[in-house]
């Protein structure tokens, strides 16, 4: 999955500045449904990652049953924090 493709699929644009509040909410709803139904671990992680980046990811313990997936998510969170200078 490519990041821009996910943004286009769920929000209608790869530029989040162009996404209206209504489009954002509708895209988040669709993404949450797809996340809940997704069985493929890499696709599920990709969906969670986008949800995290837009500030709407479910809690790690709820999102991932596998400890490796939770650790990968924590690593992503740490990397994004460093990139943002936190």
Quickly state the pLDDT bin for 2 (edges 50, 70, 90).
confident
Task: Please compute the mean of the pLDDT values over residues 41-59 and round it to a whole number.
Answer: 94
Q: What is the pTM (predicted TM-score) of this model?
A: 0.88
The token duo for 64 is 């991932």
Q: Please give the DSSP secondary-structure letter assigned to residue 55.
A: T
pLDDT computed for residue 85 by the predictor: 83
Quickly state the pLDDT bin for 84 (edges 50, 70, 90).
confident
Higher pLDDT, 3 or 27: 27
- Specify burial of residue 60 (Cβ count, 10 A radius: 0-12, 13-18, 19+): middle
Q: How far apart are CA 70 and CA 49, in angstroms?
A: 12
């Amino acid at each position: 999955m490519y990041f821009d493709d996910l943004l286009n699929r769920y929000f209608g644009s790869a530029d989040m500045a162009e996404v209206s509040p209504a489009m954002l909410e509708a895209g988040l709803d669709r993404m949450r449904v797809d996340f809940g139904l997704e069985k493929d671990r890499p696709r599920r992680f990709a969906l969670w990652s986008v949800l995290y980046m837009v500030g709407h990811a479910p809690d790690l313990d709820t999102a991932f049953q596998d400890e490796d997936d939770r650790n990968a998510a924590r690593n992503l969170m740490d990397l994004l924090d460093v990139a943002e200078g936190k």
